[in-house]
Structure 1
Amino acid sequence: MKKSKSFLYLASICTISLSIFLGCASNGSKSSNEQVKDNTYKPVTITVDLLRSGNGDKVEETFESSPKRAVTFGDEFTDILLDLGLENSIAGRTESNCKSIRTTFDEKKKDIPVLANKNLSQEKLLSVQPDFAMGWDSNFSDKKFNKDFCKENGIAIYTPKFTGDHATIQDLYTDYITLGEIFNVKSLAEDKVNTMKTKVEKVKDKVKNIKSEPKKVFIYDSGEESPFTGCQGLPGDLIKIAGGKNIFDDIDKAWAHVSWEDIVDRNPEVILIMNYNNENIEEKEKFLCSNPALKDVDAIKNKRIYPIILSDIEGGAGTADVVEDLAKAFYPDVFNN
Structure 2
Amino acid sequence: MRPWKICGVAVLVALAATACGNGGGGTGAEGDAPGQGGAGFPVKVADCRGAETTFSAPPRKIVTSNAAALEMLLRLGAGDRVIGTGFPPGKGTLPGALGARAQKVPVLGKMVIPKEKLLGSGADLYIDTFASMGNMGGAGDAPTEEEFTAAGIKHIYLASTACAPMAEEPQKDLSGVEGDITRLGAVTGTSKRARELVAGMRTKVAAVREVVGEVPREKRPGYFFFDFDAGTKQPIAVCRKQVANAVISQAGARNVFDGCDGDFKPVSWEDVVDKDPDWIQLGVRDRGDAAANTKAYDEAAAFLKNFAGTKGLKAVREGKFLRIGSERTTIAGVGNADAVEEIAHTLYPAEFKAAR
User: Which range, TM-score by smaller chain?
Assistant: 0.7 to 0.9
- Bigger-Rg structure (1/2): 1
Query: Taking structure 1 as reference, are residues 187 and 223 closer, same or farther at Cα in structure 2, changes over 3 Å only?
Result: same
Percent pairwise identity? 24
Map of 1:13 onto structure 2:
none
Query: Taking structure 1 as reference, are residues 208 and 248 closer, same or farther at Cα in structure 2, changes over 3 Å only?
Result: same
Query: Taking structure 1 as reference, are residues 172 and 243 closer, same or farther at Cα in structure 2, changes over 3 Å only?
Result: same
Secondary structure in 2 matching 1:61: strand
Structure 1 stretches of 4+ moved >4 Å:
97-100, 138-142, 209-212
Secondary structure in 1 matching 2:45: strand
Map of 2:255 onto structure 1:
246
Q: Retained in 2: the 8 A contact 1:219–1:229?
A: yes
Map of 1:47 onto structure 2:
46
Map of 1:201 onto structure 2:
206
Shift of 1:144: 2.4
CA distance in 2, matches of 1:108, 1:99: 11
Q: Retained in 1: the 8 A contact 2:148–2:154?
A: yes
CA distance in 2, matches of 1:295, 1:19: 55
How many residues of Structure 1 are paired with residues of Structure 2 in the alignment? 301
CA distance in 2, matches of 1:155, 1:213: 49
Q: Retained in 2: the 8 A contact 1:102–1:312?
A: no
Q: Retained in 1: the 8 A contact 2:329–2:339?
A: yes
> 2:334 corresponds to which letter in structure 1?
A
Map of 2:9 onto structure 1:
none
Map of 2:305 onto structure 1:
289
Map of 1:187 onto structure 2:
192
Q: Retained in 2: the 8 A contact 1:100–1:311?
A: no
Report whether the alignment pairs 1:305 with 2:321.
yes
Q: Retained in 1: the 8 A contact 2:119–2:148?
A: no
CA distance in 1, matches of 2:269, 2:128: 33
Shift of 1:67: 0.7
Q: Retained in 1: the 8 A contact 2:282–2:321?
A: yes
CA distance in 1, matches of 2:277, 2:38: 56
Report whether the alignment pairs 1:132 with 2:125.
yes
> 1:329 corresponds to which letter in structure 2?
T
Map of 2:68 onto structure 1:
76
Specify every segment of 5 or more residues in structure 1 that has no aligned partner in the other structure, as ranges: 1-17, 21-32, 50-56
1:1-337 paired onto structure 2 within 5 Å: 19=31, 37-49=36-48, 59-96=51-88, 101=93, 103-104=95-96, 105-136=98-129, 137=131, 138=133, 141-163=139-161, 164-165=164-165, 166-167=170-171, 168-208=173-213, 213-221=219-227, 222-232=230-240, 233-278=242-287, 280-314=296-330, 315-335=332-352
Shift of 1:274: 1.8
Map of 1:29 onto structure 2:
none
Shift of 1:119: 4.5
Query: Taking structure 1 as reference, are residues 321 and 102 closer, same or farther at Cα in structure 2, changes over 3 Å only?
Result: farther
Query: Taking structure 1 as reference, are residues 223 and 108 closer, same or farther at Cα in structure 2, changes over 3 Å only?
Result: closer
TM-score (norm 2): 0.75
CA distance in 2, matches of 1:46, 1:200: 27
For residues 80-139 of structure 1, the C-alpha deviation after alignment (integer angstroms, 9 at most, x for no partner) is 001111022212223446577464412222443222322533343345410111132258
Q: Retained in 1: the 8 A contact 2:115–2:141?
A: no
Map of 2:16 onto structure 1:
none
Report which structure shows greater RCO (CA 8 Å, sep ≥6).
1
Specify every segment of 5 or more residues in structure 2 that has no aligned partner in the other structure, as ranges: 1-29, 288-292
> 1:288 corresponds to which letter in structure 2?
L
TM-score (norm 1): 0.79
Of 76-85 and 217-226, more deviation after overlay is shown by: 217-226
